Structure 1
Amino acid sequence: MKRVRPMLLALLIFTLTLPLMAAEQPQEIMKKVMEVQSSNSSALELLLTLTDAGGQARERQLQTLSLTEEGRTSSITVFLSPASVKNTRFLSVENSTGKSEQWIYLPALKRVKRIAANEEGGSFMGSDFSYSDMASTTYDATEATHTLLEETATTYTIRSVPFDKSSYGKTETTVDKSTYLPLQVDFYAKDGLTLEKQLVTQKMEQMQGRWVPKVLTMTTVASGHTTRLEILQAQYDIAMNSNYFTTKFLETGRP
């Protein structure tokens, strides 16, 4: 029995640690998170609902087009309603360094304004999404160090510490194992300690044969202000005119 016990103990330890040993590497998990949300092109119709801490809500409907060429993604967002923001257009173009250059056209001023680096953390059209959020809400292996914090039967939780902390000090992402979609993303301030915002997937749905986060809610912790984003319609990997992703279209509304 003296010999059997150590063998049983070793077997028990091995059995208990097997799930941890078999876990995917956090870099691979985040790579899959990026891949399942990527496409060569997309056309989305979205409904934004902005709700303040007092419960007063405002709705904004918009269309977003995106195109990925040579590994770089560009997107154009056009506000359709209400009248106060109609025809506002927002352009984001990923450059050769992987950073996004951004411009916004404000119809009331009839001019294009470039978003400066020190403005990237500002609110996008009064929502809880910042300009930097409009470029990405997760990081690939070349942009951050990823650590697996927790694994359950259905989820992974990954801490991502970006190399460039111009927007956030870190994020913690809970990933659904079956779809590799983010269920929740916690955004921390540059100090890495203060929770600033939280993005929650409230509903997932298959659209055009792929799983997408149909309804998302971003909450600013300090104010209690929330932005609910719902995908009304979606098309992926369709023919797309690259002229949409230019400052000319941004200003004129014509490709």
Structure 2
Amino acid sequence: MRHIRRTTLVVLLVLSFVPTLLIAEESGPTIMQRVMDTQSADSSAMDIRLTLIEPTGENRERRIQTLTMTEDGLTNTITVFLSPASVKNTRFLTRQRPDGSDDQWIFLPALGRIKRIAASEGGGSFMGSDFTYADMASTTYDTDEAIHTLLRSEYIDGRDSYVIESIPTTTSDYGKTVIWVDKQTNLPLQVEFYDKEKSSVIKILKTDDIAYTEGRWITKSITMTTLSSGHSTKIEILQAKYDIPMKSGYFTTAFLETGRVI
């Protein structure tokens, strides 16, 4: 009996330290890798409502469809504007390079031609929204694109989260970001974007709604706000499909120009 009690005591002591050991093993890079893994898919198709919100409260809606496909670890995205008539058939293509950077093009029906987005234009507003062209590729950094530091744990909007500081190691429009990651779902709950001096927050991205669908947790609605102007952009995913058959022809400049898969 004495041996049994001693063994039980040892087991209890080990178990009591397990949570501490797990917490100690958590780090900025491991948490951010989970964020990326949670949001990854071989392909996706989304029906999206994009709303431009003026400081006065006036709203302007856009309906868009976004397709993504990942091949050989590289993700390509095509965004097509469906309405209103003033922006209908505007198409935007992002192709990821092996070095992690992106090539981007936009087709503007009014001009009837494709315009390549230069790297120097990455900080420009995407179609009048609070998202830049660079934001449209990603609003978080891959684990090899930034130094990720776990700052603390805290509750935000009633959800227990990790707080991660990310300082980019590559050229970026932001000096750093601070991201709140939900411990349950590994989804971003809030992202603060700092100026290049890392001293002031210039934009805040808030997650408005999350949902469990198609066997995964997804962000259903987000709002990006530019603090200097008070202007906001809300993106709502109305319908989403993941890991579905996808033609690579959608992610070409030929489709960008014609709207047809050749």
TM-score by length of 1: 0.91
Give the whole-Å Cα distance in 2 for the aligned partners of 1:131 and 1:140: 17
2:198 counterpart letter in structure 1: G
Partner residue, 2:153: 151
Partner residue, 2:67: 65
Give the whole-Å Cα distance in 2 for the aligned partners of 1:240 and 1:201: 28
Structure 1: segments with no counterpart, 5+ residues: 1-13
- Once the two structures are superposed, residues 64-83 of structure 1 have per-residue CA deviations (whole angstroms, 9 ceiling, x without a partner) of 00000000000000000000
Partner residue, 1:80: 82
Give the whole-Å Cα distance in 2 for the aligned partners of 1:139 and 1:80: 29
Give the whole-Å Cα distance in 2 for the aligned partners of 1:234 and 1:21: 34
For the residue of structure 2 that corresponds to 1:132, the secondary structure is helix
Partner residue, 2:31: 29
TM-score by length of 2: 0.89
Of residues 174, 177, 195 in structure 2, which corresponds to 1:168?
A: 174
Give the whole-Å Cα distance in 2 for the aligned partners of 1:152 and 1:19: 19
1:166 Cα deviation after fit? 2.6
Give the whole-Å Cα distance in 1 for the aligned partners of 2:28 and 2:228: 30
Give the whole-Å Cα distance in 2 for the aligned partners of 1:227 and 1:166: 21
- Once the two structures are superposed, residues 190-238 of structure 1 have per-residue CA deviations (whole angstroms, 9 ceiling, x without a partner) of 1111211110001101121211110100000100000010000000000
Whether 1:116 and 2:130 are equivalent positions in the alignment is no
What are the equivalent positions in structure 2 for 1:1-255 lying under 5 Å apart?
A: 18=20, 22=24, 24-152=26-154, 154-255=160-261
Contact 1:165/1:190, CA 8 A, preserved across alignment: no
Identity of matched residues, %:
57
Change (3 A) 1:21 1:88: closer
1:61 counterpart letter in structure 2: R
Q: How many equivalent pairs are there?
A: 241
Give the whole-Å Cα distance in 2 for the aligned partners of 1:19 and 1:130: 40
Give the whole-Å Cα distance in 1 for the aligned partners of 2:21 and 2:98: 40
Cα RMSD of the aligned pairs, angstroms, is: 1.7
1:101 counterpart letter in structure 2: D
Give the whole-Å Cα distance in 2 for the aligned partners of 1:37 and 1:229: 16
Give the whole-Å Cα distance in 2 for the aligned partners of 1:30 and 1:84: 38
Give the whole-Å Cα distance in 2 for the aligned partners of 1:164 and 1:192: 15
For the residue of structure 1 that corresponds to 2:41, the secondary structure is coil
Mean Cα deviation higher: 63-72 or 199-208 = 199-208
1:19 Cα deviation after fit? 7.8
1:92 counterpart letter in structure 2: T
1:23 Cα deviation after fit? 5.3
